[in-house]
Amino acid sequence: MDRSMGCEGSSVPEDRTEAGDDKEYVGFATLPNQVHRKSVKKGFDFTLMVAGESGLGKSTLVNSLFLTDLYRDRKLLSAEERIMQTVEITKHAVDIEEKGVKLRLTIVDTPGFGDAVNNTECWKPVAEYIDQQFEQYFRDESGLNRKNIQDNRVHCCLYFISPFGHGLRPLDVEFMRALHQRVNIVPILAKADTLTPPEVERKKRKIREEIEHFGIKVYQFPDCDSDEDEDFKLQDQALKESIPFAVIGSNTVVEARGRRVRGRLYPWGIVEVENPGHCDFVKLRTMLVRTHMQDLKDVTRETHYENYRAQCIQSMTRLVVKERNRKDRSRN
């Protein structure tokens, strides 16, 4: 092999000493930097869906998570209007920039979910929406302009569970079972400040048992590599044990212990959104933004989208075979 690639007239690359004197340096060690530069230039995108009955604090939590007002133009419906309303799908997009890294965040909301008198199959419009995004991507991928595909696939669905019930309600089970093959579901125990710490623990345990009992496949955090440091392993373990994340949301900043914090002010005290002793908000945000965003996108692409694509190709093949058989029969 010609080790002097790209260094005409010289048999010793200039960077050689960077890798030690006894080993010649080709330069592919810069690959991570090249990938990093390219990705930063392109920017990142992430689509997050929130689902669960209205009033559970979905929009408050999304605003608290991304420190933006994503619901400025939201119109709240009266009880009468909600009875008549069917599940609607709405999208809010926002560009966020942090230290030069751009993130295009799309929030998909499902107003009306669980609000009607009869909620049978109210998961259907949500499932259809997710499938439509897969279908669009499948079409674009098979089309001529594959380079500039707009990817609207849903990477994660935060499913809000009421803190007032005894574990999951039939609607929760129905929704998660219908959607778990299509999207990464992350269960959320809403409004955790309405429960005492032992109640939160009991409720979490019950929800985990029911998820297992009903064969619901929520998003699985990938296993930690054995060579990771102990701190990271402990953090990873704590994250896995927190499911469902018990969260508190707030759009107001209050003064607690001499600091201005995002929290909820009650006559008996303050609950702080970002205090790990009060709720799992920080764990959820760390998982979603800092540690697992790319994995959520990978699982969407490699598992959920691949399942959809395989089903599509299978049914297309079946159609072609059927058509060919029909033609053969009419010819004979």
Residues that bind ligand GDP (CB under 6 A): 54-60, 191, 193-194, 248-249
What minimum distance in Å lies between the beta carbon of 146 and ligand GDP? 37
**Cis preceding-peptide flag for 111 (omega within 30 of 0):** no
Cβ within 8 Å of residue 89, ≥6 positions away = 108, 109, 110, 125, 126, 129
Q: Report angle CA 56, 159, 65 to the nearest 5 degrees.
A: 70
Residue type, 10: S
What's the closest the beta carbon of residue 300 comes to ligand GDP, in angstroms? 24
Q: Distance (Å, rounded) from C-alpha 289 to C-alpha 283? A: 10
Residue 114 token pair: 């669980």
Q: How far is the CB of 92 from ligand GDP (least distance, A)?
A: 12
| CB-nearest residue to ligand GDP | 57
Q: Minimum CB separation from ligand GDP for residue 55, in Å?
A: 5
The amino acid present at 129, given as its one-letter code, is Y
Q: Which is nearer to ligand GDP, 151 or 272 (CB)?
A: 272
CB-based burial label for 294 (10 Å; 0-12, 13-18, 19+): exposed
Q: What whole-number distance in Å separates Cα of residue 135 and Cα of residue 277?
A: 43
Q: Which is nearer to ligand GDP, 181 or 194 (CB)?
A: 194
Least separation in angstroms between CB 193 and ligand GDP = 5
Nearer of residues 176 and 248 to ligand GDP, judged by Cβ: 248
Structural tokens at position 301: 């692409």
CB of 188 to ligand GDP, least distance (A): 10
Q: Toward ligand GDP, which CB reaches closer, 163 or 167?
A: 163
In terms of CB distance, is 115 or 236 closer to ligand GDP? 115
Cα separation, 154 vs 183, whole angstroms: 7
| In the complex, minimum distance from the CB of residue 190 to ligand GDP, in angstroms, rounded to a whole number | 7
Identify any residues that bridge with 118 across adjacent strands, giving them in sequence order: none
> In this complex, which beta carbon is closest to ligand GDP, that of residue 90 or of residue 315?
90
* 224-242 residues labelled b (16+ CB within 10 A) or e (exposed): eeeeeeeeeeebbeebeee
Half-sphere exposure (CA, 13 Å, Cβ side) for 291? 16
Question: Least distance from C-beta 34 to ligand GDP, angstroms?
Answer: 42
User: Which C-beta is closer to ligand GDP: that of 13 or that of 114?
Assistant: 114
Nearer to ligand GDP, 191 or 292 (CB): 191
Q: Would you state the structure tokens that stand for residue 208, as one six-digit string?
A: 């985990």
